[in-house]
Amino acid sequence: MMIHKFLLGMSMLLPEQASSYAADVDNLYLFLVGLTVFFTVLITAAIVYFFVKFRRRANDPIPAHIEGSVLLESIWSIIPFIISLFIFAWGAKIYLEQYTIPNDATDIYVVGKQWMWKFQHPEGQREINEVHIPIGKKVRFVMASEDVIHSFYVPAFRMKEDVVPGPNRYSTVWCEPTMTGTFHIFCAEYCGTSHSAMIGTVTVMSEKDYQVWLSGGAQQGTMAERGAALFSQYGCVTCHKSDATGQCPKLEGIYGTEVLLEGGQKAVADDSYIRESVLSPMAKIVLGYKPLMPSFQGQVSEEQLQQLVAYIKSIGPAETPAAAPKAGAAAPAAKAPPIMMSGSPEPAPVAPTTTATTPSPAASSQPVQKR
């Protein structure tokens, strides 16, 4: 009863539960606190009891000889063992829930740098130290750091993940907000002088408000469109030809597929793979191709990289209609921006104007396929 009241008090100290798994995290946490309180009280009571019961009553008494007790020792070994395994199983279940990214999640791209958070929406909106997301939709945060390790932490979502520098991976984390409102973002990894100022807010909006908010920006095009422009600006387009006649692998339809590498290994062409291929092209050479590509480390910013990834993704299998005409004829459909929000009105597919040097991104009237 006392523990119950204590836990109730504890839970009022916690931030709001604003994501689908927040309650699960809290329940485990409160269970651990309750368990700790229970054993602390039990052990303290035993200590006090034994103090009194076995206090010294005479000068120099000779104590009775006590052999060990197998039964007692078994009990105090096996019970904690079972409790530990129970905590492990419970924790593992929540861990898997939090770190298995659902397939139907919308991507938001995050860059951490000293000392701010930058966000990009696939639709093109960019934000600094604040991010808007819709309620009831799964959101995947794809995160990179421009300098040192940061940690993206939203206490109300019970969501925290390190954002690491280096060419080889994005870190990802997801949430499904269950409550509208504005919630804190913190950096939870000491990252220099203004670490404590590396804060921001997540605003969770109703689906309707979010659509209104989305339509308010993005004059500069979607992420995929900007990525397409960069793809041509950096000359990627001269080697990665859409009709596979280039010296480098064709990238249309590659996103999310398994790629065979020199040396017999395989890799999945996900966001991290694409990023690594741009920054350290020698790390994974595609089977049958020469290591010709220069590194773009230091030339492309993290935000640009994310736009390139969004572009490759937009020409990946998810957006290429199954009945798309063969390359060469009408090319791999329109380089239409992927529409991440299902239920949103379909915009007309826009072909990037900057890729006009190649015939491939010819705009066609292919409908944008919903993810």
Residue 150 interacts with ligand CUA (CB under 6 A): yes or no: yes
Site residues for ligand CUA, window 224-243 (CB under 6 A)?
none
Alpha-carbon separation of residue 134 from 117, 140, 342 (angstroms): 19, 12, 12
Rounded distance between C-alpha atoms, residue 309 and residue 268, angstroms: 14
Q: Give the list of residues 6+ apart from residue 190 with CB closer than 8 angstroms, or none.
A: none
Closer CB to ligand CUA, residue 112 or residue 249? 112
> Can you state the angle between helices 302-314 and 271-279, rounded to 10 degrees?
120
Out of 22, 144, 187, 293, the residue judged to bind ligand CUA by CB under 6 A: 187
* C-beta of residue 314 within 8 angstroms of C-beta of residue 335: yes
Question: What are the E-state strand segments in 50-170?
Answer: 106-113, 116-120, 126-128, 130-134, 139-145, 150-154, 159-163
Strand duo 116-120 + 139-145: pairing:
unpaired
Closer CB to ligand CUA, residue 26 or residue 146? 146
Residue 195 interacts with ligand CUA (CB under 6 A): yes or no: yes
Residue 161 interacts with ligand CUA (CB under 6 A): yes or no: no
**Closest distance to ligand CUA from the beta carbon of 190 (Å):** 6
Residue 189 interacts with ligand CUA (CB under 6 A): yes or no: yes
Out of 191, 202, 218, 286, the residue judged to bind ligand CUA by CB under 6 A: 191
**Closest distance to ligand CUA from the beta carbon of 195 (Å):** 4
Closer CB to ligand CUA, residue 187 or residue 224? 187
Rounded distance between C-alpha atoms, residue 223 and residue 228, angstroms: 9
Residue 25 interacts with ligand CUA (CB under 6 A): yes or no: no
Compute how many other C-beta atoms are within 10 angstroms of the C-beta atom of residue 291: 9
Binding segment for ligand CUA (CB under 6 A), chosen from 17-25, 123-131, 188-196, 303-311, is 188-196
**Closest distance to ligand CUA from the beta carbon of 146 (Å):** 11
Cα distance from N-terminal residue to C-terminal residue, the chain: 50
Site residues for ligand CUA, window 106-145 (CB under 6 A)?
112, 115
DSSP alpha helix (H) spans, the chain = 2-13, 22-53, 70-99, 207-215, 223-233, 236-239, 271-279, 302-314
**Closest distance to ligand CUA from the beta carbon of 98 (Å):** 21
**Closest distance to ligand CUA from the beta carbon of 122 (Å):** 24
Q: Which helix (H) or strand (E) holds 175?
A: strand 171-175
**Closest distance to ligand CUA from the beta carbon of 112 (Å):** 6
* C-beta of residue 35 within 8 angstroms of C-beta of residue 43: no
Compute how many residues bind ligand CUA; rule: CB under 6 A.
9
**Closest distance to ligand CUA from the beta carbon of 153 (Å):** 9
Out of 99, 190, 233, 290, the residue judged to bind ligand CUA by CB under 6 A: 190
**Closest distance to ligand CUA from the beta carbon of 22 (Å):** 23
**Closest distance to ligand CUA from the beta carbon of 191 (Å):** 3
Closer CB to ligand CUA, residue 112 or residue 167? 112
Strand duo 150-154 + 181-187: pairing:
antiparallel
**Closest distance to ligand CUA from the beta carbon of 205 (Å):** 26
Out of 131, 198, 248, 339, the residue judged to bind ligand CUA by CB under 6 A: 198
3-state secondary structure at position 144: strand
Closer CB to ligand CUA, residue 108 or residue 339? 108
Binding segment for ligand CUA (CB under 6 A), chosen from 119-127, 154-162, 184-192, 219-227, is 184-192
* C-beta of residue 250 within 8 angstroms of C-beta of residue 269: no
Q: Give the list of residues 6+ apart from residue 172 with CB closer than 8 angstroms, or none.
A: 101, 140, 141, 142, 143, 161, 271
Interface with ligand CUA (CB under 6 A) = 112, 115, 150, 187, 189-191, 195, 198
